């Protein structure tokens, strides 16, 4: 199943195999194939101080990243039809359930070209109020100005499930290191599953077993301490020949949107 990597009830998710939109009823707390960290390890927030738990109605649904004192980035598919007044971000805590600073989202800027069927332009900018209180565990991550080349080791993190069919999210933050896959190769791998555009970047272990998964959507993909992508979609989690697909923050249109809205 090829879908986005959020963990939520009563949400639209995207079944790209047939390019239709599925509706997850309240009885379905998990959908197979969404994103969480697979094959990684437990880590401390002090090593990932930009990492956020995006919560809706008090439940973790996606990840997000701090890029400014009042600005965070997440995936557009994480914000579809949501009211900003019900979205809160937990910063500065290894646990998704307690600790750190809880910040209210004041406004959601979902990319106007976001496409349900292809999950293209998968980015939303979140304005928060009050501001993040920077500390050893709460800091912004700079956005890279260079798209990483094939083979570059990148790190993704979040509170997503540990395996594809799991119905349980870990309480503590996880991360995994994976290599970037050249876009043309990724397009070939996904040629019968979905569309990999220039606004996407792929990363994953060739042998499988390492990936983002359900609950990691919207979270960071980092290279050399700089943000290069946003967890977006994939075919299952950690499957051989199917790397994770991330929003490419070095794409001209995506970067221009961030500069225009966030002034960063």
Q: Give per-residue pLDDT as tens, 187-238.
A: 999 998 889 999 999 999 989 999 999 899 999 999 999 999 999 999 999 9
What does the pLDDT read at residue 120? 98
Query: How many Å apart are CA 192 and CA 207, to the nearest integer?
Result: 20
What does the pLDDT read at residue 165? 79
Is beta strand 2-4 parallel, antiparallel or unpaired with respect to 226-235? antiparallel
- Active-site pick, 93, 144, 217, 232: 217
**Six-digit token pair at 177?**
């290191």
What is the pLDDT averaged over residues 142-163? Answer: 96
**Contact indicator for 220, 63 with CB cutoff of 8 Å:** yes
Which residues lie across from 108 on neighbouring strands? 126
The alpha carbon of 150 is separated from its chain's Cα centroid by a whole number of angstroms, namely 20
- Active-site pick, 53, 65, 122, 216: 122
The verdict on whether 122 is a catalytic residue reads yes
Q: Exposure pattern of 34-67 as b/e (b: 16+ CB <10 Å)?
A: bbbbbbbeebebeebbbbbbbbbeeebbbbbbbb
pLDDT tens sequence across 21-76: 222 322 222 233 333 389 999 999 999 999 999 999 999 999 999 999 999 999 99
The verdict on whether 77 is a catalytic residue reads yes
What does the pLDDT read at residue 22? 29
- Active-site pick, 77, 144, 166, 211: 77
What does the pLDDT read at residue 6? 66
The verdict on whether 109 is a catalytic residue reads no
What does the pLDDT read at residue 214? 87
Q: What is the pTM of this model?
A: 0.89
What is the pLDDT averaged over residues 172-180? Answer: 97
Angle at 226 between CA 103 and CA 5, to 5 degrees: 60
Query: How many Å apart are CA 63 and CA 4, to the nearest integer?
Result: 12
Confidence class for position 111, pLDDT limits 50, 70, 90:
very high
For the beta carbon of residue 145, count every other beta carbon within 10 angstroms: 10
Using omega within 30 degrees of 0 as the cis cutoff, is the peptide bond preceding 130 cis? yes
Q: Is 138 helix (H, G, I), strand (E, B) or coil?
A: strand
> What region does 183 belong to: left with phi over 0, alpha with psi -120 to 50, or beta?
alpha
What does the pLDDT read at residue 7? 60
What is the pLDDT averaged over residues 9-31? Answer: 30
Helices (H), 85-208: 183-189
Kindly state the percentage of the chain with pLDDT values over 90.
Answer: 81
What structural domains does the chain harbor? 49-139+254-262 (2.40.10.10), 141-250 (2.40.10.10)
């Amino acid at each position: 199943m090829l879908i986005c990597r959020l963990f939520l009830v009563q949400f639209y998710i995207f079944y790209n195999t047939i390019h239709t939109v599925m509706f997850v009823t309240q009885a379905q707390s998990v959908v197979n194939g969404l994103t969480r960290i697979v094959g990684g390890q437990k880590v401390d927030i002090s090593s990932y101080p930009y990492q956020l738990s995006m919560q809706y109605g008090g439940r973790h649904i996606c990840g997000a990243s701090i890029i400014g004192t009042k600005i965070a980035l997440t995936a557009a598919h994480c914000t579809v039809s949501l009211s900003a007044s019900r979205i809160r971000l937990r910063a500065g805590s290894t646990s998704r359930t307690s600790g750190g600073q809880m910040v209210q989202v004041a406004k959601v800027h979902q990319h106007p070209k976001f496409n349900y069927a292809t999950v293209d332009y998968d980015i939303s900018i979140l304005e928060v109020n009050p501001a993040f209180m920077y500390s050893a565990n709460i800091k912004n991550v700079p956005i890279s100005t260079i798209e990483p080349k094939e083979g570059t080791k990148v790190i993704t993190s979040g509170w997503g499930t540990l395996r594809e069919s799991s119905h349980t999210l870990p309480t503590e933050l996880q991360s995994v290191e994976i290599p970037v896959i050249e876009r043309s190769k990724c397009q070939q791998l996904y040629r019968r599953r979905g569309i990999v555009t220039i606004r996407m970047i792929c990363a994953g272990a060739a042998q499988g077993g390492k990936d983002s998964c359900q609950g990691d959507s919207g979270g960071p993909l980092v290279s050399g301490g700089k943000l290069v992508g946003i967890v977006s979609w994939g075919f299952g989690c950690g499957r051989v020949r199917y790397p994770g697909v991330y929003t490419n923050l070095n794409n001209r249109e995506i970067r221009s949107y961030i500069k225009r809205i966030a002034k960063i």
